[in-house]
Every structure is written in structure tokens, then in C-alpha cells.
Amino acid sequence: MNIDLIKKDRYIIIPFWILMFFIFWLQVMPQTASALESVLFAALLIITICPVANYLSGPLLLRAMKQKEAGRFAGQFVALSLVVGLVFVSCIELFSGLEKAGVFLVSGCFNLSATQPYAFFVPVSAGVIINIAICGLRFFLEYVRSQQRLAEYRLCTLRHQMTPHFMFNVLNDIHVLMQTDVELASELLIRYSEILRYQLYSGDRQSVTLGEDVQFLKDFIAVEQLRRDDRLTVSCSWEIENAQVEIPALLFIAFVENAFKHVAGADMEKGYIDICLRQAGSTIFLEVKNSKPALPARRTDTGGRGLKNIKERLDILCFGKYDLTIDETENCYHTKLVIDF
């Protein structure tokens, strides 16, 4: 797995080494009389240092993070920083020899004796800085990747938390109807099977089409209407420009489910639910309004879990791209959601 992670990082690591090449080149170029010499020196440094630093920041760092071996990695870091320092000194000595041999014009850039007794300190310090930079970059990439995996896990968990409430209610109604109205129970079971099929085969996908999710909402509403008979008036409006727009699966069901859960209708009055979903370009607008019961139902710990979960999903999937408004008046709940994908 670690090897795969390293390969995915190459699009960021390669530009890092290109940047290091230009830094070395710009440091050496003003002090040498040959542009070719400065280019060759910078290229040789990168070619020799890159494998050592990549090995440190790749397999060794990832293994240390996985196995929590900070002490061992610290020793490896020091040892390989010394190796990088030796590479620096070797490259400097090589080009100093080439200048003395007349291959390049003599310059003071590669004269280590001029910096004694700090001749080895400067290259080792440079090696430490390079290793810190590459390890820090790799650690940041791995941290971002782990946060992404955590977000995906949370999304999966939140999706599955939204479905059980409805399932329990439907199964209980089917059980009751089997004793009073077998035909209605059969129709309810068939419609619920369509909902369950969508949840099983589409709910775990990264995305679905808007048309698929709208059809799921229609099936859900049809089941709820069967369950509640004529105790409820449901008005739906679907204005879809492009049903093939990709959206996260099960994105809107919590709002609709919450409306049916808290709508009036337990007493003599007839409740209502108004649902409007519009899509224009990259913007989706959902509005759900439902009547409140004359006597407020006793609130439970799980009463607001669906909306809490959907808010968390929206923060993960559409952070900064959505606007959610939930209003409660004396006789109705009103939810508005606007998303720009």
C-alpha cells in the first residue's frame, strides 16, 4: 500500500525536486564563470541526493507513521542527513578537481579550505534542511490523504444512519396490514423493495444521477402515502433541466423523511407536505414544508439525528457551496436548501 501512495505523490514530489534544482543553480551560477558548470553541479546534486531523500521520506517515514516508531525514524533521519552532507562534499570536491584540471575556469565556489573548520557543517545543514522539507511535504500529503479517508468513512456511516428509521416503520405497517388488508400490504412491500434496492445498490456509490435520486424520493413518498392513507395531503413539484447531473447519493432523503416524521395528522386535522425540487445549471434548490401537529410530539434523542447527519454530509461534500435554512413557525416547518455543484 505504501508503494502505491508514493507513486500517487510523484506529481507533487517531482516539482519539488525541480524547484530544488533551480535553487542550487541560482546559488552557484553567480560564483562560477561557466553556466554549464553551474547546471551540471546542480543536476549532479539532485541526481545523487534525490534517491536518499525520497527513501527517507517515502518507505521509512510511512513505516514510522504506521508503526509509530518516532525514535527509530529520528536515528534514520540523522544518519541519512549525514549521507546527504557527504554527497554535498563529494560533489564540491569533484568540481573543485575539475577546475584544477582545467575543465572549467577556477572559481572560489568550490574551495572548501576557505570555509574551514566549517567545511562539513554547511553541507550537512543543507542536507538536514532538504530532508526536513521533503519529509514535511510527504507528511502533509499523507495527513491530507488520511483526512480524506476519514471523511469517506464518515460519509458512509452517515448514509447508513439515515435509513433504519423508515425501514422500521414500514416493516411494522406491513406486519399490521397483513392482518387487515393483504392487498395493500403486498403493494406496500413491492414499493418498499424498490426503495431498498436503491439503498443497497446505489446508496454506497460515490455519486448518482439527479434523476435516480428524484425517483427514489418519489418511491419514498408513494410508500408514505400508502401508509398514511388519506390522512395526509402531499404536493410535489419536480423541475429538472438535466436529470444526468451527478450528485451524492441519498442527499435529500433526510429532509423529506423528517417532514413525514413530524407532519400533523396524528389527531383529527389533516396534515400537508409541500415538496419542491428545482435544478438549473449547476444549482439545485430544495424546499420542504410540512404542517405541525396541534400538540407538539414529545422530542426524543433521535428526533433530529437525520438533519444533524445531513448537515455533516453537506459540510463534507459541499463546504462553502450550500445554504441551508430551517424555519419553524406556529403551524409549520419550512426547510430550504440551495447547493451549487
Read off the pLDDT of residues 20-64 as tens digits, 9 standing for 90 and up: 999 989 888 888 878 898 899 999 999 999 999 999 988 899 888
Q: Is the pTM of this model over 0.85?
A: no
Q: What is the pLDDT of residue 6?
A: 45
DSSP string covering 271-299: EEEEEEEEEETTEEEEEEEEEPPSSPPPP
Q: How many CB atoms lie within 10 A of CB 241?
A: 11
The pLDDT tens digits of the residues spanning 143-193 come to: 887 777 667 756 665 565 555 666 777 788 787 778 887 888 888 888 888
Mean pLDDT lowest for which of 77-86, 123-132, 183-192, 265-274?
265-274
Domain architecture of the chain: domains with CATH: 2-156 (no CATH), 162-340 (3.30.565.10)
Q: What is the pLDDT of residue 260?
A: 86
Q: What is the pLDDT of residue 55?
A: 92
Judge whether residue 312 has pLDDT over 80.
Answer: no
Q: How many CB atoms lie within 10 A of CB 29?
A: 16
Q: What is the pLDDT of residue 4?
A: 47
Q: Which is higher by pLDDT, 167 or 284?
A: 284
The length of the chain in residues reads 341
Dihedrals phi, psi of 201, to nearest 5 degrees: -100, -20
SS percent in the chain: helix, strand, coil, step 5? 65, 15, 20
Q: Which is higher by pLDDT, 240 or 6?
A: 240
Q: What is the pLDDT of residue 339?
A: 93
Q: What is the pLDDT of residue 116?
A: 56
Q: What is the pLDDT of residue 305?
A: 61
Q: What is the pLDDT of residue 111?
A: 74
Q: What is the pLDDT of residue 19?
A: 93
- 278 DSSP β-pair partners: 239, 285
Q: Taking residues 6-27, what's their average pLDDT?
A: 83
Mean pLDDT lowest for which of 114-118, 219-223, 254-258, 332-336?
114-118
Q: What is the pLDDT of residue 70?
A: 87
Write down the mean pLDDT value for the chain: 81
Judge whether residue 123 has pLDDT over 90.
Answer: no
Q: Taking residues 326-331, what's their average pLDDT?
A: 86
Q: Which is higher by pLDDT, 299 or 123?
A: 123
Strand duo 332-340 + 283-291: pairing = antiparallel
Judge whether residue 8 has pLDDT over 50.
Answer: yes
To the nearest whole percent, how much of the chain has pLDDT over 70?
Answer: 84
Strand duo 232-240 + 246-247: pairing = unpaired
Q: What is the pLDDT of residue 286?
A: 96
Buried-state track 139-160, b at ≥16 Cβ within 10 A, e below 16: eebbeeeeeeeeeeeebeebbe
* pLDDT category of residue 2 using cuts at 50, 70 and 90: very low
CA distances from 116 to 37, 99, 102, 119, 128 (A): 24, 20, 24, 5, 20
* pLDDT category of residue 200 using cuts at 50, 70 and 90: confident
With H, G, I as helix, E, B as strand and everything else as coil, classify residue 13: helix
Q: What DSSP element (H or E) covers 89?
A: helix 70-100
